[in-house]
């Protein structure tokens, strides 16, 4: 193994260890990945190894894996007793070594000396950033290694069958490989591409037939759900999400224009076409992972361009610009790792383990599939449509309605549902009880994420509310979900508009409701100002009378302590109209009592 590979490998290992050590306090000392998606693959791999089913639930096919080959690699670990998060991390560490070895070979073949390759591989570790991608516990590092191997096979003296095999593996790891194959087809001589083209087409066709034969879609559900398919809004959002990728393309194309060597120029064109395809048809962002393989390619192509460039000063100046911009992106990625682990541990892993321990065997419907499917080991219904094909099909047809979800919960005999603050398409069915609301510190604005545990089976509502208290810890608050009844049955003297679970006052009036439990009364409020002043209202409970001003953006306020059965009066008398005809309207989005 060459010195450049060893030095870059050591840098990568140190980076991975630093990320893991920094994340352990937030995960309770165990290995937790910062994305729930990693656990989708782990759950599918276990089901595949234990029952032979391609899906989340034994005996139920679901086109749930966006990376079939990655799920198979994880299943191999399950078969030999090495499955789980540690196995996923180990594969990624080995794959990172593969990335460096293949990249080093490509650069050596391009004429770079040992010192230049050492610098390039160190840049690759930082730019990708490779330690971060390793720590995600997902398929992106293996995909980057296969992409480089495919490029090496196409450029070098490898036989056609080798190119076919590598292309099939790379496409099976991630469908974005097709973007690279398309770019290479335009840029490289066709005589080198026949094997790769056959391998890629075989992989796509084989998996399409497999999905259709089992009643699913021709591509994974996640691809259909997340792909952009060229919508202008999606492209604009992608460019805004990852402007660094656009800058890399522009700089490398500028360097290529100033160069006369065909090899480096083909590399710049390849990156430009593949990146354009990713921005137009795919996704970027989502914790810096989707575009990682393009940055790996970009470093290799940039190193080839800078080496022996006819305008060396200009080339190095442009590369330094890239380094400065990409340093900011890489630093943000590394900084996001530990908070992401903390969030996933609280919002996904802890909730899943709590449900598994307290209600084993119950059918659970979830919006975030991964940890719930992996840790509960019971039957799981995916409301997001990745792991439940009937939901995926309804999503494609635009049929996600409260009636659809009501039928689904009934047909699947769901007892518990776990979602965010809103259901998919805001289509929550009637008859559910919000047994617990869990507020988790979020690493991004607004800073707090709400996990709602719904009791579909009414007999479970009280037990879920009581049991949720075990989840409370630093940065993680539990509200037992005993919502106030906010409707017009107890309203006098006001015109209002119904919200989901709340109301908007348009004229003066009083609403009277009853505290459903003992604890701290909380209201989620906002309002429309007039004459520069927000609306004010009073809340009267036995222990206090409080006047509040409703802000322009919804805020949660604590009113005071109530006992179960206490009357709560909300008194609004502030519907003045200003000179321009605007008035002060009050919105009460939700009211609840948090147990003390």
Give the pLDDT confidence of 189-211 residue by residue, as tens digits: 766 788 888 999 999 999 999 99
Q: pLDDT by residue (tens digit) across 152-193?
A: 998 888 888 899 999 999 999 999 999 999 999 888 776 678
d(CA 544, CA 254): 70
Compute CA 167 distance to the chain's CA centroid, rounded to the nearest angstrom. Answer: 27
Fold for the domain defined by 359-480: D-Maltodextrin-Binding Protein; domain 2 (3.40.190)
Q: Please state whether the peptide bond connecting residue 16 to the residue before it is cis, i.e. omega within 30 degrees of 0.
A: no
Are β-strands 380-382 and 364-366 bridged in parallel, bridged antiparallel, or unpaired? parallel
> Which residue, among 483, 490, 474, has the nearest Cα to 522 in the 3D structure?
483
Are β-strands 433-441 and 585-594 bridged in parallel, bridged antiparallel, or unpaired? unpaired
What are the beta bridge partners of residue 511? 491, 570
- Every domain of the chain with CATH number 3.40.190 lies at 359-480
Quick one: pLDDT at residue 283? 82
| SS3 call for 561 | strand
- Every domain of the chain with CATH number 2.60.120.260 lies at 488-594
Q: pLDDT by residue (tens digit) across 504-532?
A: 888 888 888 888 888 889 898 999 888 88
Does 481 have pLDDT greater than 60? Answer: no
d(CA 417, CA 81): 32
> Which residue, among 456, 467, 393, has the nearest Cα to 423 in the 3D structure?
456
- How far CA 136 is from CA of 85, 91, 271, 288, in Å, comes to 10, 12, 24, 10
Q: DSSP label at 489?
A: G
Q: Which two tokens stand for residue 203?
A: 């992989």
Distance between terminal CA atoms of the chain?
61
d(CA 293, CA 146): 10
Contacts of 469 (CB under 8 A, 6+ apart): 478, 480, 595
Q: pTM of the entire structure? A: 0.83
The average pLDDT across 395-400 equals: 89
d(CA 233, CA 366): 28
Quick one: pLDDT at residue 260? 84
d(CA 549, CA 536): 4
% of the chain with per-residue pLDDT over 90: 55
Q: DSSP label at 460?
A: G
d(CA 340, CA 592): 29
Does 309 have pLDDT greater than 60? Answer: yes
- Specify whether domain 488-594 bears CATH 2.40.50.100: no
What are the beta bridge partners of residue 381? 365
- How far CA 518 is from CA of 386, 515, 562, 570, in Å, comes to 39, 7, 6, 18
Q: pLDDT by residue (tens digit) across 457-477?
A: 888 887 887 788 788 777 777
């Amino acid at each position: 193994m060459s010195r450049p590979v060893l030095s870059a490998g050591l840098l990568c290992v140190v980076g991975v260890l630093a990320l893991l050590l920094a994340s352990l306090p937030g995960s309770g000392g165990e290995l937790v990945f910062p994305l729930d998606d990693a656990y989708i693959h782990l759950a599918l791999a276990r089901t595949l190894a234990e029952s032979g089913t391609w899906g989340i639930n034994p005996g139920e096919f679901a086109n749930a894996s966006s990376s079939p080959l990655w799920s198979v690699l994880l299943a191999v670990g399950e078969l030999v007793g090495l499955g789980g998060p540690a196995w996923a991390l180990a594969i990624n560490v080995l794959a990172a070594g593969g990335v460096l070895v293949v990249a080093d070979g490509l650069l050596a073949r391009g004429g770079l000396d040992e010192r230049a390759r050492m610098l390039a591989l160190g840049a690759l570790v930082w730019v990708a950033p490779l330690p971060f991608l390793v720590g995600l516990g997902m398929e992106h590092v293996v995909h980057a290694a296969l992409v480089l191997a495919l490029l090496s096979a196409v450029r070098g003296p490898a036989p056609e069958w080798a190119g076919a095999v590598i292309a099939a593996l790379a496409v099976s790891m991630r469908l974005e490989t097709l973007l690279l194959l398309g770019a290479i087809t335009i840029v490289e001589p066709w005589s080198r591409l026949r094997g790769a083209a056959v391998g890629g087409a075989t992989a796509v066709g084989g998996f399409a037939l497999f999905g259709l034969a089992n009643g699913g879609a021709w591509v994974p559900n996640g691809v259909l759900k997340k792909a952009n398919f060229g919508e202008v809004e999606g492209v604009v959002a992608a460019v805004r999400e990852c402007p660094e990728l656009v800058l890399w393309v522009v700089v490398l194309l500028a360097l290529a224009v100033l160069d006369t060597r065909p090899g480096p120029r083909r590399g710049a064109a390849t990156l430009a076409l593949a990146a354009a395809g990713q921005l137009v048809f795919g996704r970027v962002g989502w914790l810096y992972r989707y575009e990682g393989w393009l940055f790996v390619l970009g470093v290799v192509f940039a190193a080839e361009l800078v080496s022996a460039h006819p305008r060396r000063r200009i080339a190095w100046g442009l590369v330094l610009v890239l380094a400065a911009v990409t340093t900011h992106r890489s630093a943000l990625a590394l900084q996001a790792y530990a908070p992401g682990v903390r969030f996933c541990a609280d919002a996904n892993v802890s909730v899943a383990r709590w449900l598994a321990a307290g209600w084993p065997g119950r059918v659970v419907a979830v919006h975030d599939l991964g940890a719930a499917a992996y840790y509960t080991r019971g039957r799981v219904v995916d409301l997001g449509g990745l792991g439940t094909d009937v939901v995926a099909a309804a999503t494609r047809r635009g049929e996600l309605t409260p009636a659809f979800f009501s039928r689904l919960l009934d047909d699947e005999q769901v007892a518990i549902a776990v979602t965010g603050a809103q259901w998919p398409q805001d289509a929550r069915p009637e008859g559910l009880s919000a047994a617990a609301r869990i507020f988790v510190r979020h690493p991004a604005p607004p800073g707090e994420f709400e996990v709602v545990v719904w009791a579909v089976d009414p007999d479970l509502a009280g037990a879920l509310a009581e049991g949720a208290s075990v989840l409370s810890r630093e940065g993680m608050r539990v509200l037992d979900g005993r919502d106030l009844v906010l409707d017009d049955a107890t309203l006098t003297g006001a015109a209002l508009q119904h919200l989901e679970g709340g109301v908007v006052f348009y004229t003066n009036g009083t609403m009277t409701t009853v505290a459903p439990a003992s604890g701290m009364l909380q209201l989620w409020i906002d309002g429309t100002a007039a004459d520069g002043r927000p609306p004010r209202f009073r809340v009267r409970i036995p222990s206090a009378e409080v006047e509040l001003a409703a802000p322009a953006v919804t805020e949660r306020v604590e009113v005071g302590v109530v006992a179960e059965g206490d009357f709560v009066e909300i008194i609004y008398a502030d519907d003045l109209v200003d000179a321009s005809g605007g008035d002060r309207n009050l919105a009460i989005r939700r009211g609840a009592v948090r147990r003390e």
